[in-house]
Amino acid sequence: MFHHFLIPKSVLDGNGASPALALGEAAGQMLQLTLVIDTVVEQQSLEVHLQGSLDGESWIEKPLAAFPQKFYIGSSVLICDLTAHPEFRFIRATWKVNRWGRGDLKPRFGVYLFAESVASVALDSK
Protein backbone atom coordinates (compact mmCIF):
# COMPACT_ATOMS: atom_id res chain seq x y z
CA MET A 1 0.00 0.00 0.00
CA PHE A 2 1.09 3.53 -0.75
CA HIS A 3 1.39 5.81 2.36
CA HIS A 4 3.87 8.69 2.12
CA PHE A 5 4.39 12.26 3.25
CA LEU A 6 4.91 14.58 0.30
CA ILE A 7 5.53 17.41 2.76
CA PRO A 8 6.48 16.24 6.25
CA LYS A 9 5.43 18.52 9.11
CA SER A 10 7.12 21.77 8.10
CA VAL A 11 6.92 25.53 8.29
CA LEU A 12 6.64 27.01 4.80
CA ASP A 13 7.87 30.57 4.53
CA GLY A 14 8.63 30.71 0.80
CA ASN A 15 7.79 29.04 -2.49
CA GLY A 16 9.16 25.55 -2.99
CA ALA A 17 8.86 21.94 -4.02
CA SER A 18 9.13 18.61 -2.25
CA PRO A 19 11.62 15.94 -3.31
CA ALA A 20 10.52 13.48 -5.98
CA LEU A 21 8.49 10.56 -4.62
CA ALA A 22 8.49 7.29 -6.55
CA LEU A 23 4.95 5.98 -7.11
CA GLY A 24 5.95 2.33 -7.50
CA GLU A 25 2.83 0.17 -7.64
CA ALA A 26 0.62 3.25 -7.14
CA ALA A 27 1.45 4.51 -10.66
CA GLY A 28 -1.74 4.84 -12.69
CA GLN A 29 -3.99 4.56 -9.62
CA MET A 30 -6.02 7.01 -7.54
CA LEU A 31 -4.41 8.82 -4.62
CA GLN A 32 -5.97 10.60 -1.68
CA LEU A 33 -4.05 13.73 -0.72
CA THR A 34 -4.57 15.17 2.77
CA LEU A 35 -3.30 18.69 3.42
CA VAL A 36 -3.24 19.84 7.05
CA ILE A 37 -2.51 23.45 8.02
CA ASP A 38 -1.94 23.87 11.75
CA THR A 39 -0.21 27.27 11.95
CA VAL A 40 -0.96 30.53 10.13
CA VAL A 41 -0.52 34.26 10.44
CA GLU A 42 -3.15 36.66 9.16
CA GLN A 43 -3.27 38.02 5.62
CA GLN A 44 -1.51 35.24 3.75
CA SER A 45 -2.34 32.56 1.20
CA LEU A 46 -1.04 29.11 0.26
CA GLU A 47 -1.38 27.25 -3.05
CA VAL A 48 -0.39 23.56 -3.23
CA HIS A 49 -0.15 21.58 -6.49
CA LEU A 50 0.84 18.03 -7.40
CA GLN A 51 3.16 17.52 -10.38
CA GLY A 52 4.05 14.35 -12.26
CA SER A 53 7.29 13.15 -13.87
CA LEU A 54 8.52 10.23 -15.93
CA ASP A 55 12.05 10.28 -14.51
CA GLY A 56 11.95 12.33 -11.29
CA GLU A 57 13.97 15.12 -12.90
CA SER A 58 11.72 16.81 -15.50
CA TRP A 59 8.29 17.89 -14.31
CA ILE A 60 5.14 18.67 -16.28
CA GLU A 61 3.94 22.27 -16.02
CA LYS A 62 0.24 21.46 -15.74
CA PRO A 63 -0.53 20.13 -12.25
CA LEU A 64 -2.10 16.71 -11.83
CA ALA A 65 -4.12 18.10 -8.92
CA ALA A 66 -4.41 21.41 -7.08
CA PHE A 67 -5.90 22.33 -3.73
CA PRO A 68 -8.02 25.48 -3.67
CA GLN A 69 -6.10 28.46 -2.31
CA LYS A 70 -5.86 28.28 1.50
CA PHE A 71 -5.87 31.05 4.10
CA TYR A 72 -6.76 29.38 7.41
CA ILE A 73 -6.01 26.47 9.74
CA GLY A 74 -7.76 23.24 8.77
CA SER A 75 -7.50 20.08 6.73
CA SER A 76 -8.49 19.36 3.14
CA VAL A 77 -8.75 16.12 1.20
CA LEU A 78 -8.33 15.85 -2.56
CA ILE A 79 -8.55 12.78 -4.80
CA CYS A 80 -5.96 12.67 -7.58
CA ASP A 81 -6.86 10.31 -10.42
CA LEU A 82 -3.64 9.08 -12.01
CA THR A 83 -5.42 6.53 -14.24
CA ALA A 84 -5.23 9.00 -17.15
CA HIS A 85 -1.45 9.32 -16.61
CA PRO A 86 -0.07 5.79 -16.09
CA GLU A 87 3.27 6.90 -17.57
CA PHE A 88 4.14 9.04 -14.55
CA ARG A 89 6.47 7.26 -12.14
CA PHE A 90 7.16 10.16 -9.75
CA ILE A 91 5.16 12.91 -8.06
CA ARG A 92 6.05 15.96 -6.03
CA ALA A 93 4.22 18.78 -4.29
CA THR A 94 4.89 22.40 -5.18
CA TRP A 95 3.68 25.39 -3.22
CA LYS A 96 3.42 29.14 -3.48
CA VAL A 97 2.94 31.40 -0.48
CA ASN A 98 1.94 35.05 -0.37
CA ARG A 99 1.58 37.58 2.43
CA TRP A 100 0.21 41.11 2.34
CA GLY A 101 -0.71 43.85 4.80
CA ARG A 102 1.38 45.55 7.46
CA GLY A 103 4.41 44.44 9.43
CA ASP A 104 6.64 41.55 8.47
CA LEU A 105 5.56 40.35 5.03
CA LYS A 106 7.19 36.93 5.34
CA PRO A 107 4.49 34.21 5.13
CA ARG A 108 4.40 31.37 7.65
CA PHE A 109 2.32 28.22 7.25
CA GLY A 110 2.74 25.13 9.44
CA VAL A 111 1.68 22.24 7.19
CA TYR A 112 2.00 18.64 6.17
CA LEU A 113 0.77 16.79 3.07
CA PHE A 114 0.13 13.06 3.09
CA ALA A 115 -0.58 10.84 0.07
CA GLU A 116 -2.09 7.39 0.15
CA SER A 117 -3.68 5.04 -2.34
CA VAL A 118 -7.45 5.21 -2.44
CA ALA A 119 -7.62 1.40 -2.19
CA SER A 120 -5.86 1.53 1.19
CA VAL A 121 -8.21 4.27 2.42
CA ALA A 122 -11.22 2.12 1.48
CA LEU A 123 -9.78 -0.89 3.32
CA ASP A 124 -9.05 1.16 6.45
CA SER A 125 -12.64 2.44 6.63
CA LYS A 126 -14.15 -1.05 6.97
**What are the residues facing 95 on neighbouring strands?**
16, 48
Task: Quote the pTM value.
Answer: 0.90
Dihedral class, residue 56 (left if φ above 0, else alpha if ψ from -120 to 50, else beta): left
Q: Domain range for residue 16?
A: 3-124
Dihedral class, residue 101 (left if φ above 0, else alpha if ψ from -120 to 50, else beta): left
- Structure letter (DSSP) for residue 118: H
Q: What is the pLDDT of residue 102?
A: 83
Q: In a structure prediction context, what are the per-residue pLDDT tens digits for the chain, which is 126 residues long?
A: 899 999 999 999 999 999 999 999 999 999 999 999 999 999 999 999 999 999 999 999 999 999 999 999 999 999 999 999 999 999 999 999 999 988 888 999 999 999 999 975 554 555
Q: What is the pLDDT of residue 124?
A: 53
- CATH code of the domain containing 98: 2.60.120
